[in-house]
Copies of this chain bind each other. A is one copy, B any other.
Amino acid sequence: MKKSQGNRTELLQGTLDMLILRVLAETPLHGYAIGKRLGEVSAGRLEIPQGSLYPALHRIEQRALVDATWTTIRGREAKVYAINAKGRRKLKDEISGWEELASTVSLVLNNA
């Protein structure tokens, strides 16, 4: 039945791609597994809807930040994503961008 529990833009724009690249930096995964992995490493705080996840994957694939290959896993077709060199550079950039933003925001929050 899938109740909609009023999730009003849970995540901030642009953050998702960075988080996906981050988990892919550890090991290649397919989309569904990425979603579960994000749940794990966030201590259950992140539950990415498929309607956010898959478009994000297509985005980063089109930007050539990952290489995708169709594989058969336990009888099911799965599209496995692996981060590439360009993706790793982009990830670095996005992390430093995030950190700068976070520090700027807390500057404003604490600094009147």
Given contacts A9-B13, A12-B15, contact A105 B98 (CB under 8 A): yes
Given contacts A112-B23, A112-B26, contact A107 B15 (CB under 8 A): no
CA gap between A108 and B38 in the complex, in Å: 7
| A98 surroundings in chain B (CB, below 8 A) | 105, 109
Interface size on A, residues (CB 8 A): 29
User: In the complex, which residues 15-48 of chain A have their Cβ closer than 8 Å to any Cβ of chain B?
Assistant: 15, 19, 22-23, 26, 38, 41-43, 45-46
Selected contact of A104 from candidates B45, B105, B107, CB within 8 Å: B45
| A107 surroundings in chain B (CB, below 8 A) | 41-43, 45
Give a binary string over A74-112; 1 marks a CB under 8 Å from any B CB, 0 the rest. 000000000000000000000100101110111111011
